[in-house]
Structure 1
C-alpha cells in the first residue's frame, strides 16, 4: 500500500473541504462537485480529489441545515434479506440521526422478492412517506425505484452504482476497493487467488469482481475461472463456495470473499479441513462489519462506513425534500471514502515462506 503523505492539519482537527482542495491542488468548488457527483470533472482530477479525500479521511456534511428542518418528515428504510451484520450497522446510522432530529423513521421489511409484490408494496409505501432509503439488495430493484419515482417520492440508494437517473446514491467506489484488496494479496506474493462473488443481481457485487479482475490483469496473472465461485452474501453460501474452492485439485493460497459473512464461512471451512489461517490460507472479506472481528483470526477487509452512509442518505433526502424550488430535482451521487483494514488473516503463500 502506498504510504499517505503527511497532512498539514493539526492533530485532532477534522479535515475541511479547503484541506482537500489544497492537497488535491484544485478549487473547493471542484471538490464539492466530485463528492456530490455533480457537474463534469475530468477523470484524472476526480481520482486526485478522491485520493485526497481518503488521505485526509474527509467526511462532508451534506446538509446540516436540512437536518435542523426535519420536523414531521417521514423517511422509510425498506429492507429484505440483507446480511444481519450489515443491517445492524445501517440501523445504527439511521437511529443516530433520528435521535437528534424530528424525523419519523419508518422501517419496513419486504419478505416477497417477486416483482409484483415489490410493485404493490412500493405503491402503498409511497402514499405514507416523504422519502425512501433502499439498502442492498433493494437498492438495485428497478421495479421499486420506478414506482417511487413515478409517485414523486425521493429515493436514495445505499451501496449501489447509479443505474437510474431518477435517484440519488450514497456509495463507496466498489471497483477501486476490490482492486486495492486484490492488490494487497498480490503484494503478499499470492498468484492463485480464489474469489467468491456476491449476489448476481447487485451492481456492487459486479464492481468488486471487476476490480479483482483488473488487479490480476495489471499484475500479469491469468484469471482461472475454476477459482471463481458464486455466493449470495450469506454465510451458508460462503460455506458452499469455500468447500468447492478448497476441493480444487490445485487450491488457491488466498480467497477473496465479497463480504465478511462469506469470508467468516471460508475460515470455518479452512479450520474444519485442518488448515491454518493465514499460514496455509489467506482470507479477506469486505464491509468491515462486526463479523470481521468475531472470527479468529480477525479479517483483513475493506472498511465501508455503513453507519455514516446511512447518515448521509438521510441528509441527501432532507436536502431534496426541503428544497424551496420543487420544479427541479437535484440528484446526488455521493462517493464515501473506504479504506483497507489489515488484520491477521493474510500472510504470504506457503511456498514463498
Structure 2
C-alpha cells in the first residue's frame, strides 16, 4: 500500500471522524460505515480509512457508535456495599469477563439510601449507552430500577438477588443453606445459645441468612430467643455494637454467628476487650471469607462465597445471551481457630 500523504494542515487536536474523512479522501458516511463495520465500502477505501485512523490515533466514540444503532461494547456495573473488599471483588470479576470480549466495564457506585438512584442510572444509560447492566445488591431488588430497564428493553443481570424473576438472568449462592450449615456446625459442636448478627436490611442476603439460622435452630429443637438476634450493617462497628449487646445479656451466647466477616471481626474485638477468650469461652463465626478472616486472631471460621466468580458469571450471562437464565455457585464452610466446643457447664 502506498504511503499516506502528509496533510497540509496536521492534526494538532484530538482526532475526530472529520479528520479521518479529510485525510483519507472519503466521505464522512464512509468513515462511519468503516467504524461500525457496515457493508457497502470497498476493500481499498476500508483499508485506507483504517490506516488513517491508526496513523493519527483516532479512537471511535463508544457513545457515537451506540447512537448509530451499534453495540457500544461496554456494560455498566451498579454496585454498592459497605465492604471495600466485596466491591473490589465484584468489579474484578466483571472486568475480567469483559476483557475476554474486549468490552469495557463502567463501574457506577451509588448511595443505596439515595432517592436519586433511579435518576442516576437513567442518566448513565442516556450518556454512556451501555449494552447492558450488572445489578449488584441491593439495586438488583429495586423494583423501580428493574421496571425502567425492562421498559427500555435494556438487558441486565442480577447478582445475588432476593425475589426470583424467572425471565431475568441471575447469579447467586444459596445464602439460606449456607447460614443453615454454619449454624448446624455450631450446634454440632454442642452450642445451644447461639447469637446471630444480621446484615443491613436492604440486602436480600441478610434475610436469607437469618432464615437459614432460624431453620437450623428449629430442626435441632432449639427455641428461638429474639434477644440473641441483633441488627448489624455488614460493617465492623455494627458487629462490635451487636456483640456488646449480646455479651451483656444475663445468659450470654456461647457462640456468635455474624452475617459478614467484618461484623465477626467486631465481635472478636468486643470479646477481647472483655477478657473473653475465643474460642475457649466464646466461639465466633463469620460469612464471606474475605482476606480479613485470616488476618484477625484467632482466624475466623466462615462461609467462603465466591464473590469474584459470581460477578464474572453475571457478566458472562450478559455477554452470552440465549443460554442459562440462572447460575447457582457453590459455597464452602471453612473451619478455623475461632470455633470450638462450648465450655463445660
Q: TM-score, normalised by structure 1?
A: 0.74
Q: Distance in 1 between matches of 2:234 and 2:324?
A: 29
Does residue 1:120 correspond to 2:113, yes or no? no
Q: Distance in 2 between matches of 1:168 and 1:225?
A: 36
Runs (5+) with no aligned partner, structure 2: 1-70
Report the secondary structure of 1:123's partner residue. helix
Post-superposition CA distance 1:30-53 (Å, at most 9, x none): xxxxxxxxxxxxxxxxxxxxxxxx
Q: Residue 345 and residue 225 in structure 1: after superposition, are their counterparts in 2 closer, same or farther (change >3 A)?
A: same
Q: Distance in 2 between matches of 1:149 and 1:237?
A: 36
5 Å matches for 1:132-281? 132-281=133-282
Report the secondary structure of 2:250's partner residue. coil
Does residue 1:88 correspond to 2:80, yes or no? no
Q: Distance in 1 between matches of 2:180 and 2:124?
A: 38
- Residue 16 of structure 1 aligns with which residue? none
Report the secondary structure of 1:191's partner residue. coil
Post-superposition CA distance 1:266-319 (Å, at most 9, x none): 011111111111111101111111121121111111111011111101110012
Moved more, 150-159 or 300-309: 150-159
Q: Distance in 2 between matches of 1:269 and 1:304?
A: 25
- Residue 310 of structure 2 aligns with which residue? 309
5 Å matches for 1:24-63? none
Using the TM superposition, give the Cα deviation of residue 101 of structure 1 relative to its aligned residue in structure 2, in angstroms: 3.0
Using the TM superposition, give the Cα deviation of residue 331 of structure 1 relative to its aligned residue in structure 2, in angstroms: 6.9
Q: Distance in 1 between matches of 2:309 and 2:81?
A: 21
Q: Distance in 2 between matches of 1:312 and 1:277?
A: 37
Q: Distance in 1 between matches of 2:114 and 2:88?
A: 25
Moved more, 106-115 or 293-302: 106-115
Moved more, 105-114 or 221-230: 105-114
Q: Distance in 1 between matches of 2:274 and 2:253?
A: 14
Post-superposition CA distance 1:3-38 (Å, at most 9, x none): xxxxxxxxxxxxxxxxxxxxxxxxxxxxxxxxxxxx
- Residue 347 of structure 1 aligns with which residue? 340
- Residue 290 of structure 1 aligns with which residue? 291
Q: Which has the higher contact order (CA 8 A, sep 6+)?
A: 1
Q: Distance in 2 between matches of 1:100 and 1:165?
A: 28
Q: Residue 164 and residue 347 in structure 1: after superposition, are their counterparts in 2 closer, same or farther (change >3 A)?
A: same
Using the TM superposition, give the Cα deviation of residue 164 of structure 1 relative to its aligned residue in structure 2, in angstroms: 3.3
- Of residues 316, 321, 337, the one that matches 2:330 is 337
Using the TM superposition, give the Cα deviation of residue 175 of structure 1 relative to its aligned residue in structure 2, in angstroms: 1.1
Using the TM superposition, give the Cα deviation of residue 72 of structure 1 relative to its aligned residue in structure 2, in angstroms: 5.1
Using the TM superposition, give the Cα deviation of residue 165 of structure 1 relative to its aligned residue in structure 2, in angstroms: 4.1
Report the secondary structure of 2:213's partner residue. helix
- Residue 60 of structure 1 aligns with which residue? none
Aligned residues of 1:76 and 1:105 also touching (Cα < 8 A): yes
Q: Distance in 2 between matches of 1:255 and 1:242?
A: 8
